[in-house]
Structure 1
Amino acid sequence: MSTTAPSRPLPSVVQVGLSRTGLEVKQFFREKEQLIFTFFFPIIFLAIFSAVFSGTDFADGVDAATYFTPGMIASGIFLTSFQSLAITIAMERDEDLLKRLRGTPMSPQSYFIGKIGLVLVTSIAQFGLLLAIAGLLLGVDIPSSPDKWLHFLWIFVLGTASGSVLGIAFSVVPKSGKAASAVVTPVVLLLQFISGVYFVYSSLPAWMRTVSEIFPLKWLAQGMRSVFLPDGFEASEPGGSWQLGTGAIVLSVWLVVGLVVAQRVFRWTRRDAG
Structure 2
Amino acid sequence: MSAAQSTTSTRKLPGLGPASAVRTKAEMASFFRNKQSLVFTLALPVLLMLVFGMIFKGKIEGTNVDFKQVFLAGIIASGVMATSFTGLAINVALEREMGLLRRIAASPMPRSAYFIGKVVRVVVTTVVEVAILMILAVVVFHLPLPSDLMRWGVLAWVTALGVSSCSLAGIAYTALIPNARSASAIVTPPFMVLQFISGVFYPFNLLPELLQKIALAFPLAWLCRGYRYVFLPDEFKVTETGGTWDLPMIAIMLGGWTILGMVLTCLVFRWRGPRVR
Q: In the alignment, does 2:144 pair up with 1:138? A: no
State the Cα distance separating 1:8 from its structure 2 match: 7.1
Q: In the alignment, does 2:206 pair up with 1:187? A: no
State the Cα distance separating 1:273 from its structure 2 match: 6.7
| C-alpha distance after superposition, 1:114-166 (max 9, x if no partner) | 11111100000011111111111111111141110111111111000011111
Aligned-partner residue type, residue 103 of structure 2: R
Between the aligned partners of 1:264 and 1:112, the Cα distance in structure 2 is: 15
Between the aligned partners of 1:87 and 1:28, the Cα distance in structure 2 is: 12
Give 3-state SS (helix, strand or coil) of 1:180's partner: helix
The aligned residue for residue 222 of structure 2 is 219
The aligned residue for residue 32 of structure 1 is 35
**Does structure 1 retain, via aligned residues, the 8 Å contact 2:86–2:187?**
yes
The aligned residue for residue 94 of structure 1 is 97
Alignment match of 2:44 (pick from 35, 41, 46): 41
Between the aligned partners of 1:13 and 1:96, the Cα distance in structure 2 is: 22
Cα RMSD after superposing both structures? 1.9
Between the aligned partners of 1:245 and 1:15, the Cα distance in structure 2 is: 36
Between the aligned partners of 1:177 and 1:43, the Cα distance in structure 2 is: 25
**Does structure 2 retain, via aligned residues, the 8 Å contact 1:14–1:113?**
no
Gaps of 5+ in 1: none
Q: In the alignment, does 2:102 pair up with 1:117? A: no
Q: In the alignment, does 2:23 pair up with 1:20? A: yes
Q: TM-score, normalised by structure 2?
A: 0.91
Between the aligned partners of 2:12 and 2:110, the Cα distance in structure 1 is: 16
Between the aligned partners of 1:44 and 1:62, the Cα distance in structure 2 is: 23
| C-alpha distance after superposition, 1:191-242 (max 9, x if no partner) | 1111111111110000110111111111111111110111111112132011
Alignment match of 1:163 (pick from 162, 166, 182): 166
Aligned-partner residue type, residue 245 of structure 2: W
The aligned residue for residue 205 of structure 1 is 208
Matches within 5 A, 1:239-254: 239-254=242-257
Alignment match of 1:153 (pick from 153, 156, 179): 156
Q: 1:195 to 1:178 in 2, by over 3 A?
A: same
Q: TM-score, normalised by structure 1?
A: 0.92
Aligned-partner residue type, residue 158 of structure 1: L
State the Cα distance separating 1:264 from its structure 2 match: 2.0
Give 3-state SS (helix, strand or coil) of 1:171's partner: helix
Aligned-partner residue type, residue 32 of structure 2: F
State the Cα distance separating 1:9 from its structure 2 match: 4.7
Q: 1:273 to 1:267 in 2, by over 3 A?
A: farther
Alignment match of 1:80 (pick from 79, 83, 92): 83
Between the aligned partners of 2:73 and 2:227, the Cα distance in structure 1 is: 5
Q: 1:239 to 1:18 in 2, by over 3 A?
A: farther
Out of 135-144 and 110-119, give the one that drifted further.
135-144
Aligned-partner residue type, residue 243 of structure 1: D
Q: In the alignment, does 2:141 pair up with 1:104? A: no
| C-alpha distance after superposition, 1:168-190 (max 9, x if no partner) | 11111111111111111111111
